[in-house]
Structure 1
Amino acid sequence: MPAMLADYPQTSPLTIELRPLLHPLFRQLREGISEFTFANLYLFRATHRYSVTALADGTIALLGRDGARAFFMLPFALPEAGLLNTLFHDHGMLKCASAAQARILAQQGYRIEEDRNNFDYLYRRQDLALLGGRNYHKKRNLIKAFTRSHAFSAKPLRTELREDALRVLEDWRRGAEEGGDYEAAREAVVLMDPLQLCGGIYYVESQPVAFVLGEELAGGASYAIHFEKAVPGYKGLYQFINQSFAAVLPEEYATINREQDLGDQGLRQAKMSYLPAGFVEKFKIYPEDSPSF
């Protein structure tokens, strides 16, 4: 039997026991916001101090904090007006609001701010799989440089290869300037079966060098890449795994969601270089007279 949620203002921690309750609800969402999967929220529960609660009208709300800044999220529905006002009073800002929610709340007098740093990048799966045309010329050259220089292989990332993926992650961590999402990525590999994450792992000369891990979004129309890690020192490796994984994804995934750039200009340039077909827009919403975060 699924775990029950605490009634607001009480909250429940975002534990794995809540997955049977929340995962089916997330699967019904069509907007394709990358944060709104059970796995993504669970893996970043410590980073954003997530908790979950049930409002008096039955609406489920997620609460969190980024540093000292409180926020709430409403992935499934907007509550009735009085409850929404209470959430704004208690938590200040609605985060990860969809475009549809932003339109509704703008009409009700709330202040809407575009959250460009958290827009998800959407690519046509076929574009990333084929990399055709002049605009992808440099990426094709990098992939050729990798494939000509190394004896490589690729396998589905399954439980029996978990230790190989963890080796990749440790090597990636030693080469990274900051820890980044290491803890979340490690837990994703360890819990990929209960969280139903799928991906691929890549080898050079039988040594694991990269892995990809993600899940479907938007009712099965899109595939989100939550984690893509590679060991340093292989020119063209990231371009190769990007193209290779897109090529083996089933055709029913029309798009690939490669998540946000978080305002990092280098990451933004890299994501734009793959020519996104569009974005999953997200918004921050405040009461009209409140300050921005």
Structure 2
Amino acid sequence: MKVPCYPDFAPIDLETRNEIHPRLLSAGDGISEFTFSNLYLFRNRYQYKIAAVNTADNGIIISGETPGQGTRFFMTPCGFPGFDVLDDLFQSHDYWKNIPESLLELEAGDSSLGRRLEERGIVVSEDRDNFDYLYLRAELAALSGKRFHKKKNLVNAFLNTWPDHAERPLEKDLIPDALSVLEYWRRDKGEDGDYMAAKEALEIFSTLELRGAVYYVGGKPAAYCLGESACGGAMFSIHFEKALDQYKGIYQYMNQAFAAALPETFTRINREQDLGDEGLRQAKMTYRPVGFVKKYRGERPGK
């Protein structure tokens, strides 16, 4: 199915991947939501719909709804759609989500696009809760120095306690093992969370060209992770990590082992956002991010 031109929208499905995926892969900011797999796997949660815009950078518009709030938002992952389209979008949506920093810095006449938006009454603000955390792959793989001392100790404790551990790249025959970890995680947490998206990601991981690994203790599946290439292949985005909590240090081990196993062409790892969860924010900060993929939110008061 061909993606319709704005103002028409269509649901995201696998048939649109060949058209959308190359455009998203070339997006320079590396925003974790702006991959085909992320949009597809969370299409039901956010009621995503998609439209194409006839611009020089083959623009895409994503329309969605905030779960439980009834508010509608739009996203522009591949360039600026133009002021006429933007004005029209604000008529039918409550806010503009995940504005890339590079978009705001674009030259627009004799000033930046960010300044032009401000002049048109659009209030743009940082969305800190949705900043993606960026790490150097080499640092996560080595965990060298005092900065990572506690993480390295947890990894070593895991390795010493369970010497019969193993890591295997995710292949089709290992999907049942990864699914067993996911089912355990769901029962243990007592809530679904991202269960449906994580389950579908495993079931069609080859179609989505995802990469991951399964981790074993005593020959039994104990953890798995799954993600994909972004930013033209220079960045790797981790979408899902699940593990059996009974193995202390397994998350730290999985984080280090997977970073070490990734090709060196991936220089940065995107471990996504903290969603405003203070505990998660502190945990992500302990891995010493080298930066963030900043995201912005745009609103037009009194529209």
2:191 alignment counterpart: 178
2:294 alignment counterpart: 281
**Residue 102 of structure 1 aligns to which amino acid in structure 2?**
L
2:79 paired with 1:71: no
Once the 2 structures are TM-superposed, how far is the Cα of residue 83 of structure 1 from its aligned partner?
A: 1.2
d(CA) in 1 for partners of 2:128, 2:77: 18
User: What SS is found at the alignment partner of 1:226?
Assistant: strand
1:124 to 136, 151, 154: 136
2:18 alignment counterpart: 20
Q: How does 1:246-257 map onto structure 2 within 5 Å?
A: 246-257=259-270
The answer to whether the 8 Å contact 2:59/2:77 transfers is no
Once the 2 structures are TM-superposed, how far is the Cα of residue 8 of structure 1 from its aligned partner?
A: 3.0
Residue 270 and residue 290 in structure 1: after superposition, are their counterparts in 2 closer, same or farther (change >3 A)?
A: farther
Once the 2 structures are TM-superposed, how far is the Cα of residue 56 of structure 1 from its aligned partner?
A: 6.2
**Residue 52 of structure 2 aligns to which amino acid in structure 1?**
A
The answer to whether the 8 Å contact 2:234/2:267 transfers is yes
1:241 to 212, 236, 254: 254
1:41 alignment counterpart: 39
1:149 alignment counterpart: 161
Q: How does 1:1-293 map onto structure 2 within 5 Å?
A: 3-55=1-53, 59-67=59-67, 68-103=70-105, 104-108=112-116, 109=118, 110-150=122-162, 151-287=164-300, 289-290=301-302
User: What SS is found at the alignment partner of 2:224?
Assistant: strand
> TM-score under structure 2 normalisation?
0.92
Number of residue pairs aligned between Structure 1 and Structure 2: 288
User: What SS is found at the alignment partner of 2:209?
Assistant: coil
> TM-score under structure 1 normalisation?
0.95
User: What SS is found at the alignment partner of 2:92?
Assistant: helix
Once the 2 structures are TM-superposed, how far is the Cα of residue 15 of structure 1 from its aligned partner?
A: 0.6
Question: Structure 2, unaligned stretches of length 5 or more?
Answer: 106-111
2:108 alignment counterpart: none
d(CA) in 2 for partners of 1:222, 1:7: 30
**Residue 273 of structure 2 aligns to which amino acid in structure 1?**
Q
The answer to whether the 8 Å contact 2:155/2:249 transfers is yes
Once the 2 structures are TM-superposed, how far is the Cα of residue 209 of structure 1 from its aligned partner?
A: 0.5
d(CA) in 2 for partners of 1:230, 1:282: 29
CA RMSD after TM alignment:
1.4
Identity of matched residues, % = 45
Mean CA deviation greater in 98-107 or 114-123: 98-107
The answer to whether the 8 Å contact 1:169/1:182 transfers is yes
d(CA) in 1 for partners of 2:185, 2:26: 34
The answer to whether the 8 Å contact 1:157/1:200 transfers is yes
The answer to whether the 8 Å contact 1:70/1:91 transfers is yes
Once the 2 structures are TM-superposed, how far is the Cα of residue 54 of structure 1 from its aligned partner?
A: 2.7
